[in-house]
Structure 1
């Protein structure tokens, strides 16, 4: 319990180091017909840039974790793009395969943004991501290396599904474990759409019963979660398990896929 709370604190400070990017997004995303496929790993600052933009655009995507020491999806990137470099985005809607984080960001805004142009705050990242590196270190470099217990284990038959958003410290903890266990999954962004969404599920800035923005993405998510929106939320179609609470999810993943 104590160790988990320490990890929550680390993940929270890591998000603060990035200035809260990856928290809010459009309520009306332009979801691609075919799922975007992102090959990445949690501790990479370059991958983090891309995930922040995916939250800003509120896009869902498939994650193929490629932590250091892993082979499964790292070898796939070699076959698909010719090298092992991350992040690596495969967009079957446009036929493009992209490596560089800035190129991926321009691509995402061009095809899935409101205006087709990259906002200035996302158009000129520093070449060396000192702030993001600091965030990775603050987070204890979680999600950087593969868990050696699973290096030769076959992938589950069906992709797991995770609901969250990039800057959520509780979601970050779960994503780190999914990376270390090399578990591919569908990531459903649940970005904050307006000020009434800000805060934890039980401590939102707007008191009273939670009501999502009408017609927004969160309105659809609420139908899945019940009477409130809380992240992270995990569904494992391989076992039928559905879980809230990061600590319970982590315990489940390690017991099911690492023991």
Structure 2
């Protein structure tokens, strides 16, 4: 292995993660590759609960032993040269993790459909074997949403009727989370899942969002364009001629 390569998170934490309430989860297979974000690395796993909390009062006791969840692990890493990454170890969690925890708890408390719910979380200092000793390592456990993301499902290869069915299902979920005050702006097909059995969409990844307006004012076509569910119209010739936008492929 290249000694200069960043360490994978699972090189320094165990297979079973115990949370502060005594609940523990076994991480199973990874569902994403290692990813480096500003100041931290991340990876997602499928996990299963192996032990309930001692008092039995946590929400995880409502789920079966074999039920699968998603565990997101984020680790503070040393700063890159000439970057704005934090230079000192931080207690965490990061701003994006804190934002997602707030959204997940809101979804759980409001019994929102089509979005993941909060299950458990933990943030603690790395040990001496971590990539940034003393920096944070955070774990977020959430419900696993069914289906395949629309990018992997080759959304644009589907029939017109299939695409329209998914668009309408997506809008129902998006409007419902706008009503809760959350408007995601990490808009991509990879964050939209389709469940072929229930014929429903779900939306995942709530690290980035703005306060939402009333969905009655939503411009649905523009929203679907932002998420990649509707193609944007080609630029007009006069806009290119007047320099308001660049001609596609232009390098000037």
Tell me the TM-score range normalised by the shorter chain: under 0.3
Relative contact order, higher structure (CA 8 A, sep 6+):
1
Larger strand share, 1 or 2: 2
Larger radius of gyration: 2
Question: What TM-score do you get using the length of structure 2 for normalisation?
Answer: 0.24
